[in-house]
Structure formats: C-alpha cells, structure tokens
Amino acid sequence: MLVRFSKMHGLGNDFMVIDAVSQRVRLSEQTVRRLADRHTGIGFDQLLLVEPPTRPDLDFRYRIYNADGSEVEHCGNGARCFARFVRDKRLTVKDEIAVETARGKAILKMLPDRLVEVDMGAPCLNPVEIPFAAELQAPVYSLDVKGNLYEVSAVSMGNPHAVLVVDDIDTAPVKTLGPLIERHPRFPQRVNVGFMQVLSPSHIALRVFERGAGETLACGTGACAAVVAGRLRGLLDAQVKVSLPGGELYIGWRGDGASVMMTGPATTVFEGQVYL
Ligand SMILES: N[C@H](CCC[C@H](N)C(=O)O)C(=O)O
C-alpha cells in the first residue's frame, strides 16, 4: 500500500505524519519500527496518525507511536505539527482544532508568525494514574536506582514523566541515568525522564530521555512536566521559558487543576510516499 506522508519537526523532535482521514492506513508495531530506522527507513522520534474523531465534539483523533513501535498517550511537539499538517493539507480551516488523545483531548490554536499554542490539559499527579508506585502523592519522591538515591517528581501529561533537578544540564547523566529510570520498576509503563536546570524562576534548561525513543532534541510534554514539577517544588513562576537542545518553548501553568499551555513552532521538512 503506497501512503503519502509529511516529515516534520518541533524544535528538532522529528515526526512522520500520516493523513489517515483520506488514506487507509494499517500500522503494526513492526512496521513503525521499520519506518523509524534512520538508515533503512524514513527515520523519526515518533510517528503521528491523523484520524477521524470517535467523538462528535472533536475534530480529529491524534495517535502517536514511538520509534520503538509503542503507542503512547501524548506528544506535545507533535501536537503543534499536527495542527500545521491538518491546516496545510486542508483537512480543516479552523484556527482552533480540538483533537482526541488516548487520555483526553488537546486544543490546538494557530498563532501569527507560524507558532502554535496547545492547551495540554491539566497535569495528573496521582501516582495511581501516572502510573508510579508510591504510598502517597508528593511533590518529590526518593527513587533508588542501583543503590543510589535520586529526588524525582512524577507527573503525567497523559504520558508519564519523571523530572530531576540538576546543577548543570551539560554534564547531566542523561545517557546513563535516563535509561535506568525509563525502565525503573516503580514506573510500570516505563517513563520519560527530564533533567532540568533552573536558570531563574522564569527560565529553565531541559534535556529529556524519552520513553521508547531515547534522548530527543526537544520534548513538549517533557517541558510541560518539568514546569509543573518546578512549580510544585516552589522553584518556578507561572510563565517559563524552556530552553531545550533544539530550541525554546514557552510554558504556562497557573497551578492546581489549570491546563498547561505550550507555545512553539512546527516545521515541515519534506513530503514523501512510502510502501507500508
Ligand atoms: N516527544 C514528545 C513526547 C513523546 C512521548 C513518548 N516518548 C512517550 O510518552 O513514550 C513530546 O514532544 O511530548
């Protein structure tokens, strides 16, 4: 089956985006892994599927697959690319687009100068729903990793995140500690691991070792989770600039049950066709 796709990225977090509204698309975990290969496939951190909604009040269904083939609940950088894609492909003419995710919905808003604002919904801090094994909900947990104790915050943006505060982002043990926490038994569905350096109450630097993809140049849900974690720890203001290796996101969160708002770019690199 020959399928059209767009290659896109949000601050270097790159995606293969497929219109499954006007094309019939069937994906297996093996097919996703094959397409994700950066030498023999298309190459991406995540594959995004644009599908018709299953709910009448929403415009599209938004499905996300990691490079390892696992389907996951949310992708923030991908949400901005999703909005750019459905507008450029004339699948909608709306400036505000409501999409269904595995754990709820997200509202995507087209802004001037080709930026996109995403209402990411409220963070979930209940360990049972993250999921994370903990007796009680807390802003910080002590996590034993091979005999060493680390302070982590646990936040779900639909997908699970563990967030650590480090003194220097450039020397943070992303490549060594990231995979150990990603597969830590207290995170039964694995976890995305964020390493955050607080530069000021309104500015952080962040690197993310992503579940199912490894370290990426940017992670939108990771940026949201890091700001939530920083605010829970009393370190950050309500509006924060997040500097990632691939560029900057602007994250806002008033606290408690409020939505996390994310603003950033979305870029189309090329169009292609591939046999699935
Ligand atoms: N890059 C994505 C995160 C993908 C999430 C995926 N790695 C997982 O939850 O397993 C973002 O911009 O939010």
The pTM (predicted TM-score) of the whole model is: 0.96
100: helix, coil or strand? Answer: strand
DSSP letter string over 29-61? HHHHHHHH-TTTS---SEEEEEE--SSTT-SEE
Mean pLDDT (whole number) for 138-147: 98
216 lines ligand 1 (CB under 6 A): yes
Residue 194 among known ligand-binding residues = no
Please tell me if the CB atom of residue 264 comes closer than 6 angstroms to any atom of ligand 1. Answer: no
Name the residues annotated as catalytic. 75, 219
- Same CATH fold, 141-258 and 2-117+265-275? yes
Instruction: Identify the pLDDT of residue 101.
Output: 93
Q: What's the rounded mean pLDDT across residues 133-161?
A: 98
pLDDT tens for residues 121-131?
A: 999 999 999 99
156 close to ligand 1 (CB < 6 Angstrom): no
At 151 the pLDDT is 98
pLDDT in tens, 37-58: 999 999 999 999 999 999 999 9
Q: Rounded CA gap, 229 and 32, in Å?
A: 32
Domain boundaries, the chain: 2-117+265-275, 141-258
Question: How many angstroms separate the alpha carbon of residue 219 from the centre of ligand 1?
Answer: 6
Our answer on whether the CB atom of 6 is closer than 6 Å to any ligand 1 atom is no
pLDDT of residue 240: 98
CATH class of 2-117+265-275: alpha beta
pLDDT tens figures, 224-274: 999 999 999 999 999 999 999 999 999 999 998 999 999 999 999 999 999
pLDDT for res 200: 98
Give kind and range of the element (H or E) at residue 176: helix 174-182
What fold does the segment set 141-258 form as a domain?
A: Diaminopimelate Epimerase; Chain A, domain 1 (3.10.310)
Atom of ligand 1 nearest to the CA of 79: 12
Instruction: Check pLDDT > 90 for residue 188.
Output: yes
Q: How far apart are CA 140 and CA 154, in angstroms?
A: 7
Average per-residue pLDDT for the chain:
97
Nearest Cα to Cα of residue 154 among 118, 183, 120, 128: 128
Between the alpha carbon of residue 274 and those of residues 122, 190, 269, the distances in Å are 37, 31, 16
Dmax over CA atoms of the chain, in Å, equals 54
Quote ipTM for the complex. Answer: 0.92
The encoded tokens of residue 113 equal 């100068």
C-alpha to C-alpha distance for 163 and 60, rounded to whole angstroms? 30
Q: Mean pLDDT across the stretch 214-229?
A: 98
The Cα 105–Cα 93 span in angstroms is 19
74: CA distance to ligand 1 center in Å? 6
